[in-house]
Chains A and B, each alone.
Chain A
Amino acid sequence: MTATAIAVARIDQLFAAVMLFGIYSLLSAALFVVMDAVDVAFTEAAVGAGIAIILMLGALALTTREQRPVPRRRHWVALAVVVATGSGLIYGTLDMPSYGDPGAPAHLHVIPRYLNQSMAEIGIPNVVTSVLASYRGYDTLGEIVVIFTAAVGVIGRLGVAPEITALVKSGGMQHHLILRITAKLMLPLIMVFALYVQFHGDFGPGGGFQAGVIFASAFILYGLVFGLEDATKVAPPPVVHVIAAAGVLLFALVGVAGLFLGGNYLDYGVLADEPTKGQHLGIMLVELGVGMTVAASMISLFFAYASYKPEE
Chain B
Amino acid sequence: MEIFGLYNYWIVVVLMMIGLYVVVASGNLIKKIVGLNIFQTSVFILYISIGKLRGGTAPILLEEPAAYSNPLPHVLILTAIVVGVATTALGLALAVRIYGAYGTIEEEEIEEQEN
Contacts and interface: CB of A to CB of B under 8 A. Distances in A.
Interface in B27-64: 27-28, 30-31, 33-35, 37-38, 41, 44-45, 48-62
Interface in A271-312: 294, 297-298, 301, 304-305, 308, 310-311
A202 to B, nearest CB: 10
A123 to B, nearest CB: 10
Interface residues of B, number: 85
Identify the interface centre among A79, A93, A305: most chain B CB within 10 Å of its CB.
A93
B79 A304 contact: no
Q: Is the interface of B mostly helix, strand, loop or mixed?
A: helix
B13 A90 contact: yes
Contact of B13 (A40, A93, A119): A93
Interface stretch (A50-58, A174-182, A190-198, A232-240): A50-58
A151 B86 contact: yes
Contacts of A118: 61
Contact of B88 (A37, A55, A68, A77): A55
Interface of A: 1-2, 5-6, 8-9, 14, 17-18, 21, 24-25, 28, 31-32, 35-40, 43-44, 47-48, 51-52, 55-56, 58-60, 62-64, 67-68, 70, 74-75, 77-79, 81-83, 85-86, 89-90, 93-94, 96, 98-102, 104, 106-107, 110-111, 114-115, 118-119, 125-128, 131-132, 136, 139-140, 143, 146-147, 150-151, 153-154, 157-158, 203-205, 207, 209-210, 212-213, 294, 297-298, 301, 304-305, 308, 310-311
